[in-house]
Amino acid sequence: MSERIIRAVHGKQDVVADPEFEVFFSQNLSSRFDRNALLVLYQRYAIGVGEYDTLLRRVFWRALTKSMGNGVHIGAGVGFKHIETFELGDKVFIGDQTYIQGRFDGTCIIGNHVWIGPQCYFDARDMVIGDSVGIGPGTKVLGSTHTALPVDIPIMHTDLVIKPVHIGSWSDLGVNCVIMPGVKLGQGCIVGAGAVVTKDVPTFAIVAGVPAKFIRWRDGYTPEKEGYEK
């Protein structure tokens, strides 16, 4: 079969408010159970693939998160830590077996119409993902690193430095890429499959490789500032 183009679907549908009974169910759970009890109950529906399990995952996420929009999809086997810090927009899709690790005093914001492929990992202790971002399967977004000092103790015993990560709206992250701590991606970036991004990426740039390097500007974009370091 020859190459063909088909219309994109995710992020182009209208946002429809979740049913009132679903919202009421979440509110009722929040009023009746504490967070630990909710987490225990959630495990009953965490890995099922049917319509009922999918519905119940959304109900529990609304009860557990800081805030959550409409039309959110939580895949089977999605794991998390400190879900109470998560803020999700409308029409967020989180693929199967993805893991999001927050922190009790952290920030985890995922914008509207974000699509996250299966088996991704997010160190979401200080992470913001803008609107309409596509994240390929197996992607890793890292937000912390050990100081490795002093040298006379195991590295894992040294202090942890949390570095904020920001992924700009409209960006697209290729399969199995890695975003390192402290990196900021500008609006509409493209990150190639398998790339390891170690430094900031400007708006509408395409980067690829290990470590990721500037390839070119996206077609149709004329940068205001020439001479970006390649």
Name the residues annotated as catalytic: 146
**Residues 6+ away with beta carbon under 8 Å from 22:** 55, 58, 59, 62
For residue 143, which of 194, 107, 170, 95 has the smallest C-alpha distance? 107
Give the relative orientation of helices 51-64 and 20-32 as an angle to the nearest 10 degrees: 50
Distance, in Å, from the CA atom of 216 to the CA atom of 228, rounded to the nearest integer, reads: 10
For residue 114, which of 167, 175, 65 has the smallest C-alpha distance? 167
Give the relative orientation of helices 51-64 and 35-42 as an angle to the nearest 10 degrees: 160
**Residues 6+ away with beta carbon under 8 Å from 179:** 139, 140, 141, 142, 165, 167, 173, 185, 191, 197
| Element (DSSP H or E) covering residue 51 | helix 51-64
